[in-house]
Chains A and B, each alone.
Chain A
Amino acid sequence: MLGASQADRRLLPEGRLAGPMPWVIAIMMFLTALAAAAGLAMGDAAHRLGGDLGRQVTVQIVAGDPALRDHETDAVQRVLGREEGVAGFHKLGGDEMQALLRPWLGDAGLDRDLPLPAMIDVDLTAAGRARLDRIAGALTAAAPHARIDDHAAWLAPLVGLIRSLGLLAGGIVTLMVGATAAAVVLAARSALNTHRQTIDVMHMMGSTDVQVARLFQRRLALDALFGAIVGLIGAIIVILGIGRRLGEIGSGLVGSIALPWTAWVALLALPLLAGLLALAVARLTVQRALARTL
């Protein structure tokens, strides 16, 4: 039957069918892969910021009297030890405090007599995050000079921004999919016009629309697949380059923007999806065009 054998494939001339379409799709796949990678990385970062980092709080005991500060620090640690929803806590030692302050004050500013608050990093469970108010109430009851610094409060705008950028990337990917489909439609129509005589002859000999569509859909899908692979290779080179630059920055927040392996799988599947999209769009376009003829 038409659509399977080498002889049937010869019904259309050798060579690519769709003119510049593969290169148009290569460019669109390049941009799509970049947008998809950005969206996937942003989504992952937003998930992690809203998850692990969003469940961290820092308790500061800002008492000026060192004895009172030590007393309240002990009280805070006792409360944290018995409260539900506290996954763990860690009191920052003197060296850690100096490491935190050194970028701001320099070595000269690290006076041993400088009154510094005691700081305790606390990791909460998801349930603990939900009952943070109660934990905070217990802490301030036991240590009136305790201040609760909720990381989620200052991360929220950043997470919101990252999520918005992720959605924007998703929107761009959607537009690119539409543009790819439009390119295939134009290529299919052009191919139909170019091979009108062959199609007419086939029709007059009893070819069905499906038989004719098979010839075009296969060729257009292969052309699209070729363009998509070229575009994806270009995009992967750029993504790896950007990832390397982000790693060199060394910032915790920036470093949280990374592509998980699932995102790589999704990116590598894009050419196949582009090929399948081209196949479906070409089939529909050809069949619709043929339906307007006798």
Chain B
Amino acid sequence: MAGIVQFENVGLRYGTGAETLSDLSFSLAQGSFYFLTGPSGAGKTSLLKMLYLSQRPSRGSIRLFGEDVVQLRRARLPGFRRRIGVVFQDFRLIPHLSAFDNIALPLRIAGVDERDLVTPVREMLAWVGLADRASARPPTLSGGEQQRVAIARAVIGRPEILVADEPTGNVDPEMAARLLHLFDALNTLGTTIVVATHDIHLLSRVASANVMRLDRGQLHDPTGALRHPPGGGEAYA
């Protein structure tokens, strides 16, 4: 399998302080499932930001879909971003839009005709158990419901990579299991999944998942899955 994501000696520094992330070198195989774990402050969200093109690294090279995205012109970024679905830790739903319109947003941005998006959005709402809350606005939804809308929005466009930052943080165990099942199903359809979580109980829920562990800005590779092609179980960086 080709590496859909390749980091080479990537470092990230905010301002003039010490590096938040140092010497990250790894490759993610297309169609694989990854958990990114580590304690709070380890740099998980920063790594994900670089992955979904919200943050450029201070040094090093990042290749997505076979292209160097660090030097990519701004005008080309939207095309790459449309291939990546993101579940933000704080959901980032647009508060004045209904659940339906929030989920439909990626399709509208991609230029999908209004007539063609109704059915997939309704199916997605049903899939995350919110069929009867289509017209509800985020402030009237519970935390778990908002999280499910955020997940539905991230996957509605059938992204090639799905990046989720603590996607089960606000849902009950049953819903967490359902969401992971959803991610697993997407993964079997070919989507590369990266889920950041500090819930170690999740790691065993997806049998095929690889685990990346961040600690104080350094990436560790307990399963060896971050080598490309995947290798043994030693720390990689």
User: B-contacting residues of A (Cβ < 8 Å)?
Assistant: 1-2, 5, 7-8, 10-11, 13-14, 197-198, 200-209, 211, 291, 294
Contact = CB atoms under 8 A, between A and B. Distances in A.
Interface in B77-96: 77-82, 86, 92, 94, 96
Contact of B109 (A10, A197, A205): A205
A7 B52 contact: no
Given A201-B94, A205-B82, A294-B74, A10 B56 contact: no
25 contacts: A1-B111, A2-B109, A5-B108, A7-B114, A11-B94, A197-B94, A201-B92, A201-B94, A201-B105, A202-B105, A204-B54, A204-B86, A204-B92, A205-B81, A205-B106, A205-B109, A205-B157, A206-B78, A206-B79, A206-B80, A206-B110, A208-B75, A294-B53, A294-B55, A294-B56
B97 A10 contact: yes
Given A203-B78, A205-B105, 4 more contacts: A206-B78, A206-B79, A208-B75, A211-B109
B99 interface: no
A2 B108 contact: yes
B234 to A, nearest CB: 34
A204 B108 CA distance: 14
A3 to B, nearest CB: 10
A52 B207 CA distance: 97
Contacts of A11: 94, 97, 105
A213 to B, nearest CB: 13
Contacts of A10: 96-97, 101
Given A204-B52, A206-B81, A207-B78, A8 B108 contact: yes
Contacts of A198: 94
Contacts of B53: 204, 294
B114 A5 contact: yes
B10 interface: no
B36 to A, nearest CB: 18
Contacts of B82: 205-206
Interface in B42-77: 52-56, 74-75, 77
A204 B80 CA distance: 10
Interface residues of B, number: 29
Contacts of B56: 294
Nearest to B153: A205
A208 B77 CA distance: 8
Contacts of B194: none
A9 to B, nearest CB: 11
A176 to B, nearest CB: 35
B104 interface: yes
Contact of B92 (A5, A7, A200): A200
Scoring B74, B82, B153 by chain A CB atoms within 10 A of each residue's CB, the highest score goes to B74
Contacts of B109: 2, 202, 205-207, 211
A202 B86 CA distance: 11
B108 A208 contact: no
Nearest to B102: A201
Nearest to B77: A294
A5 B106 CA distance: 15
Contacts of A201: 92, 94, 105
Query: What 6 pairs across the A-B complex have the smallest Cβ distances?
Result: A206-B82, A206-B81, A206-B78, A13-B96, A205-B106, A208-B78
B5 to A, nearest CB: 17
A215 B75 CA distance: 18
Interface in B154-173: 157
Contacts of B97: 10-11
A203 B94 contact: no
Nearest to B55: A294
Contact of B74 (A5, A13, A200, A291): A291
A208 B81 CA distance: 10
Contacts of A202: 105, 109
Interface string B103-127: 0111011110010000000000000
B92 A294 contact: no
A46 to B, nearest CB: 51
Nearest to A14: B96
Contacts of A206: 78-82, 106, 109-110
Contacts of A207: 78, 109
A206 B53 CA distance: 10
A1 to B, nearest CB: 5
B103 to A, nearest CB: 11
A16 to B, nearest CB: 14
Given A10-B101, A294-B53, A294-B55, A197 B92 contact: yes
A205 B111 CA distance: 12
Interface in B131-185: 153, 157
